[in-house]
């Protein structure tokens, strides 16, 4: 969406002549300013732009390059964040990237299934993000209307920026289309952490039953620390709920514990939000560019 907005907002230089004054065109049209402006507008439209600069030098301001690459670098930041999360979740064994039958996860450790696509994306994304500073420096260091120290730099930065973004998007598409999810592992992790997450709900239930909030908070704090110690020092399962069910202080809510720790109570409107986001924001973009992305990208891993 941001790239589309940036693309629509790009302003053309138009035809301004060697110094931006349009003097040569004014001479060509025998001093007719209206014809000069008409030519400026026609060339802008013919080049595919919706607007043009009113005042510019021989070339458009190099700040345009900076804004374009900044938007492209934003793709790098998004992909880096997504692929970092994939790597973290893969480490927890909750998800995996697509993994080819003959793919080698590690040359040293045969059992490993490293998220190589995400690792590659994070590496390239850092490079793409780093490109954002270069056109800003170019724009900032131009002498007066323009100096030629912009040329070599922008030829590299613009090309590398778009090529790197293309690789990142293709690889991310490949990851998403072949991602493997392990619900049982996710369920196991929820069961391990939910008793701690539910302490606020347990606290509220006890207050409703007439307990002192401060006293209940202290009870839960002590039990949580004890349960945490068992998990971390002894490697045992989280027994927080067992401790609560054995403590007479919490007797008023013992018969409610299973309902209080129902995972569905902790997700709010997430399902509805995701469905609405996909329906209103994702599907329209997919439909708009369906022909370009009909075929799945092919990668060598």
Residue 158 · residue 69 · CB < 8 Å: yes
pTM recorded for the entire structure:
0.81
Phi, psi of 270 (to 5 degrees): -50, -50
User: What is the per-residue pLDDT for 22?
Assistant: 92
User: What is the per-residue pLDDT for 102?
Assistant: 64
In which residue are the tokens 């309902």 written? 259
pLDDT per residue over 106-128, tens digit each?
655 666 678 999 999 999 999 99
Tell me the pLDDT band of 146, cut-offs 50, 70 and 90.
confident
User: What is the per-residue pLDDT for 289?
Assistant: 82
What sign does the CA torsion over 13, 18, 21, 24 have? negative
Tell me the pLDDT band of 101, cut-offs 50, 70 and 90.
low
Residue of 258, 195, 188 lying closest to 225 (CA atoms): 195
Q: Tokens for 9, please give them.
A: 């907002």
pLDDT per residue over 149-202, tens digit each?
888 999 999 999 999 999 999 999 999 999 999 999 999 999 899 999 999 999
């Amino acid at each position: 969406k941001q790239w589309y907005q940036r693309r629509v907002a790009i302003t053309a230089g138009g035809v301004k002549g060697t110094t931006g004054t349009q003097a040569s065109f004014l001479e060509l049209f025998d001093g007719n300013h209206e014809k000069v402006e008409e030519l400026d507008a026609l060339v802008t439209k013919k080049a595919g732009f919706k607007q043009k600069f009113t005042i510019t030098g021989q070339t458009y301001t190099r700040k345009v390059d900076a804004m374009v690459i900044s938007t492209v670098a934003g793709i790098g930041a998004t992909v880096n964040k997504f692929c970092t999360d994939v790597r973290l979740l893969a480490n927890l064994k909750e998800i995996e990237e697509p993994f080819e039958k003959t793919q080698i996860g590690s040359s040293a450790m045969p059992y490993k299934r490293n998220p190589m696509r995400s690792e590659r994306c994070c590496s390239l994304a850092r490079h793409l993000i780093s490109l954002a500073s270069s056109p800003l420096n170019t724009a900032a260091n131009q002498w007066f209307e323009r100096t030629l120290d912009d040329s070599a730099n922008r030829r590299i930065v613009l090309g590398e920026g778009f090529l790197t973004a293309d690789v990142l998007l293709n690889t991310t598409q490949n990851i998403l289309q072949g991602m493997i999810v392990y619900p049982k592992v996710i369920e196991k992790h929820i069961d391990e952490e939910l008793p701690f997450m539910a302490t606020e709900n347990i606290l509220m239930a006890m207050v409703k039953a007439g307990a002192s909030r401060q006293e209940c908070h202290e009870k839960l704090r002590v039990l949580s620390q004890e349960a945490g110690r068992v998990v971390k020092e002894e490697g045992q399962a989280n027994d927080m709920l067992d401790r609560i069910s054995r403590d007479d202080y919490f007797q008023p809510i013992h018969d409610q514990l299973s309902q209080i720790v129902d995972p569905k109570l902790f997700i709010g409107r997430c399902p509805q939000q995701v469905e609405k986001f996909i329906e209103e924001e994702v599907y329209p973009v997919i439909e708009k560019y369906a022909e370009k992305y009909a075929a799945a990208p092919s990668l060598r891993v």
